[in-house]
Structure 1
Amino acid sequence: MFIVSVIFPLIFMVGLGYLLTHIKYLSREHIAGIGKFAFNISIPTFLFLNMYKAPLEQSLNITELMAFYLPVLAVYGLGFMASRLISRGGKNQAESAVYALGCSYSNTILVGLPIIIAALGESMMGNVFVIITFHSALLFAMTFLLSSRGAGQGFSWPRFTRSILFNPVVMSISLGIMINASGIKLPDVLMSGLSLLGQPALACALFVLGANLSFYSISQEWKFSVLACGIKLLLLPALVYCFGHYGLGMVGESLSLVVLLSASPLGVNAYLIATQLKVQQSILASTVVLSTVLSVLSFGFWLWILLEA
């Protein structure tokens, strides 16, 4: 029953977003406006506040970083090789790099964070934000680097660095860490205003996620999407669990944190990278849809293993 109480509110918001868009009550333009508010204003405010209030000495946990990122890198490599081996004639390096991203990139903000808050409480948010700060930077850099080399093009580190540093998520987390570490105390009236602005962040994020699902369809190359979902939702969290628990001796909330993050579905930003590179768009769009739907089972299983078994 506890697992249902954790997952149902999230499914409700995603389902509501999907339904209202599917019946044309809300258009793409409406969702774009809500998404712009959520991802550029409300979510960054929410992240900033939580990093500002987080106990930094407890949030930076090298063991958690290793338990999450080493399996992610291993799965990225596996996805890259799988794409090269099972494609007819072999996919080019850019296509394989984007497919590898689709097997390893997690929707940590829209899905992973609400699940962790519901299951473990807000006390773990500082640890979550420290982990996800490097998430997009690492995997996107690898994807762009492999794609550029495969196409015989140069990789522009300055351009990539600017795109990461000016990302609202990275900026808000970084600013919260800096002000927290400096010991500066923000005025109470400002904190009250920021708290009000950040309150709808997770609800808006889940609503927009559901709405966007109605815009995607399953591609003809659905077998690749199913394989990516299997790697993302089954293999990656299993590797994180085994490596964290048996390799690093992790238990309790710390282990639950990294496993639940890795069990999140494919993040929609991976589809945006595919669109930007003009490869694997339909496969990654399909994987976003399938993995988001199937993540209900993935989260249910891991919540049972971690919290009730």
Structure 2
Amino acid sequence: MAALSTLFPVFFMIGLGALARMKKWITPEQKDGANHIVFNILFPIMIFNVLLTAKIESSLIWIILYVFIAFILTMVIGKLLSGLTGKKFAHISPYLLTTTEGGNVALPLYTSIVGLGYASNTVIFDIAGSFIAFIVMPIMVAKTTAGHTSVKELCKTILTNSFVIAVCLALILNLTGFYTYLSHTSFIDVYTNTMTQATAPIVGMILLIIGYNLKIKKETLPSLMKLLIVRFVLFAGIIAGFFILFPHMMADKIYMIAVLIYFMSPTGFAVPMLISPLNQSEEDADFQSAFISLYMVITLVVYTLIVVFIY
């Protein structure tokens, strides 16, 4: 029942988005408008809040660094294997092999098993994922879409990117102790309520858009299945790396479950929006939505196996 309470709302919103497209309740232009609102306004606010309030402890730096490097490598390997997974989607497929949807899939599934007291075990992985999604990806996308521009123009494009600004500002305020100071003042409630109001619609809108774009075409199935297998193998390798590099932590069953669930969860829901400037056709968006939706099945199978055989 815990898995159902976590996954059903996700599939419901995806299904609602697909129904909205089939019934023509939402036009493609309206969907694109919603996409721009989330991507250009709400997402930067969310990542600012996540990084501002994150507790970056020095003892966990090595884990964050490992996950960051691992996520970078998945993109590099994805690029090298783009011929195998399908040249038609080679410009977007490497991005689908990195990051994990921690907040809306991994975290609730994990805490449904071990309880909220251990939530930080998966949240720490999201710090590395946030750097990839909201710094590395925007820079790569900006560089790709900028074309043959000068270094000066490229730097301007990157530095004026709303995600880059949000990340840099949040880290500066975090490391200087601004949030700690704010949390001891009466303005903390104003800040918290404002962030809650601004970020509340994000996940639902993302899932609705993913569902709207969800069209699994027969001709894309070979590429989808190959990419699913590649991601599964790569992330199984990341899990193996935890056993090799952090054996003392993986000896703790509760921590091991966090690693297994997190790195077997789907690509971050934000990725399709982050890389949308790279889309060459509507089929690209369809491919991304289908990939994330299909990987949810793998996540559910892994969750079930952990509940039955490990915990």
For the pair 1:105 / 2:98, whether they are aligned, the reply is yes
**1: CA distance, partners of 2:212 / 2:49:** 27
Distance 1:254 1:131, change over 3 A: farther
Task: Choose from 234, 239, 242 the match for 1:241.
Answer: 239
Distance 1:38 1:104, change over 3 A: same
Give the TM-score taking structure 1 as reference length. 0.72
Contact 1:79 1:99 in 2 (8 A): no
Structure 1 gaps of 5+ residues are: none
**2: CA distance, partners of 1:154 / 1:35:** 27
Q: What does residue 173 of structure 1 align with?
A: 167
**1: CA distance, partners of 2:128 / 2:85:** 36
**2: CA distance, partners of 1:29 / 1:162:** 29
Q: What does residue 106 of structure 2 align with?
A: 116
- Between the aligned residues of both structures, percent identity stands at 18
Contact 1:98 1:143 in 2 (8 A): no
Q: CA RMSD in A?
A: 3.8
Q: What does residue 197 of structure 2 align with?
A: 196
Deviation by residue 1:270-303 (Cα, 9 ceiling, x = unmatched): 763543xx5xx68754531331221221211333
**1: CA distance, partners of 2:197 / 2:84:** 51
1:195 offset after TM fit, Å?
2.6
For the pair 1:265 / 2:255, whether they are aligned, the reply is no
Q: What does residue 12 of structure 1 align with?
A: 12
Deviation by residue 1:47-96 (Cα, 9 ceiling, x = unmatched): 322322222226953224314533x4444444444444688xxx6xxx79
Structure 2 gaps of 5+ residues are: none
Letter in 1 for 2:276: L
Which residues in structure 2 correspond to 1:1-309 (within 5 Å)?
A: 1-57=1-57, 61-67=61-67, 69-70=69-70, 72-84=71-83, 98=91, 101=94, 104-106=97-99, 108=100, 111-119=101-109, 120=111, 123=120, 124-125=122-123, 127-135=125-133, 137-138=135-136, 158-184=152-178, 185-186=181-182, 187-188=187-188, 189-213=190-214, 218=217, 220=219, 222-232=221-231, 234-249=232-247, 250-251=249-250, 252-253=254-255, 256=258, 260=262, 263-265=265-267, 267-269=271-273, 272=276, 274-275=278-279, 284-285=284-285, 287-304=287-304, 309=310
1:14 offset after TM fit, Å?
1.8
Give the TM-score taking structure 2 as reference length. 0.72
Equivalenced residues, count = 287
